[in-house]
Amino acid sequence: RWPLVKSLTRRHRQTLCVPRQASLQPTSQLSVCCGGLSVSVWFKCARGMQVTSTGPQTIQRAEGESVTLGCSYAPSPVDAGELDIEWSVVSPDTTRKDRMLMSYTGGTQYVHADRALAKGLRFAAADPSRGDASLTIAALSPAHGATYQCKVKKNPGVDARKLSLVVMVKPSVPECWVEGGELVGEAAALHCRSARGSTPLTYSWRRETAGAVLPAAATQNSVTGELKISNHSQSLAGVYLCEVNNAVGAQRCRINLKAIKPPNRAAVIVGTAVGSLLLIVILLVFIGLLYWKMSSRFRHEKEFSNEIRYSFIQFLKVMESDVTKEHSKARPC
């Protein structure tokens, strides 16, 4: 039954030497040993179903964008069965089943994913049976990040391809602020922070005025977004721009750094002394007024008390005089 017998020799072997699954190339040699007979056969065979898509196995896209997962295929002339295409999400847990997303069989497309993942899913080609089983996902969200498998089957041929999709979030607009004072001669720190975005986030500062080069007195940290100025001066004042970026996007914020001259120390000392003396004088005046008020009130109360006592004594004297007169009138002559 084989097209060509290349050699036939007798060997002293009593076992069958044919492997269960031979990897047959377009032109292969197969050796069979049985009953002491060794046969080497050259033959030609046709390859089965093949997924022909190439390219990176890991794809990065930004949230909100669309992506097409390539899965072109080429069947063999010996593949005579019904075409069956399956797209599924590979479970990271090997003990659990993969999640079916879409399938094509019998000329009909089927969606198996839940509502959250099914939105925006479709075959890239109008007719997947023409050699293109690629899958398009519109409006990507972080939930779409997974490992996908495209499996094309047409008995007896079958082949598959896996792709990893990483959905990254663009950085949000960062916030810029100055920590500490903006006094000349002192240290100043500019900060930049983005609240949202896929890591790693990289920060960079530059000046919008006096060129884009940072001054020698400034050092920046690309991870924390901090720009430190060790000795602030008037020449360092101006608009600074911070840019944060990751693999899928970038955002910026600006801040105007001022250079405030510190107050005169001698004037501050004199002002502090004068203010302290003035406060002491005001306090003494207040205490004096309070003492005078309390003394006046005490004297007034004392005089009022004396007047009441004097009036009471006079009243008693008058009463005594009246009583005496009454007794005198009542005494017989």
Domain span at residue 221 reads: 175-257
Residue 196 counted as domain residue = yes
- At residue 67, the pLDDT reads 96
Residues 23-35 have pLDDT tens digits of 344 444 555 554 5
CA–CA gap between residue 184 and residue 234 (Å, rounded)? 7
**Domain co-membership, 112 together with 183:** no
Task: Tell me which of 204, 223, 257 is where a domain ends.
Answer: 257
Q: Give me 150's structure tokens.
A: 């495209």
Q: Are residues 92 and 147 in the same domain?
A: yes
Query: Is the same domain home to 161 and 188?
Result: no
Please state whether beta strands 146-154 and 84-89 pair in parallel, antiparallel, or not at all (unpaired). Answer: antiparallel
Whether 16 has a pLDDT exceeding 70, the answer reads no
Higher-pLDDT residue of 105 and 32 is: 105
Instruction: Give 254 or 43, the one with higher predicted confidence.
Output: 254
Give yes or no: residues 21 and 89 share one domain: no
Residue 36 lies inside a defined structural domain of this protein = yes
Residue 277 lies in a domain: no
**Mean per-residue pLDDT for 32-58?**
68
Q: Residue 115 maps to which CATH number?
A: 2.60.40.10
What is the model's pLDDT at position 145? 93
H/E stretch holding 296: helix 265-330
Does residue 71 fall inside a structural domain?
Answer: yes
The residue among 200, 223, 257 that closes a domain is: 257
- CA gyration radius, the chain: 50
| 133 and 55 inside one domain | yes
Q: Read off the pLDDT of residues 107-166 as tens digits, 9 standing for 90 and up.
A: 999 999 888 788 889 999 999 999 999 999 999 999 899 999 999 999 999 999 999 999
Domain boundary among 168, 201, 227: 168
Least confident of 38-52, 158-172, 279-293: 38-52
Same structural domain for residues 63 and 95? yes
**139 Cβ partners below 8 Å, 6+ apart?**
64, 66, 119, 120
Mean pLDDT across 10-14: 35
Residues 57 and 159 grouped into a single domain: yes
Element (DSSP H or E) covering residue 18: none
Tokens of 115: 């509502």
Do 151 and 246 lie in one domain? The reply is no
Q: In the chain, what is the straight-line distance between the N-terminal and C-terminal CA atoms, in Å?
A: 187
Report the alpha-carbon distance of residue 241 to residue 251 in Å, rounded. Answer: 10
Q: Is residue 313 part of a domain?
A: no
How many domains does one find in the chain? 3
* Res 64 pLDDT > 50: yes
Would you call the peptide bond into 156 cis, given omega within 30 degrees of 0 as the criterion? yes
Q: What is the DSSP string of 22-87?
A: ----SEEEEEEEETTEEEEEEEE-----EE---S-SEEEEETT--EEE--BEE--TT--S--EEEE
Q: Tell whether 103 and 13 lie within a shared domain.
A: no
The DSSP code sequence of 229-273 is ESS--GGG-EEEEEEEEETTEEEEEEEEE--BPPPPHHHHHHHHH
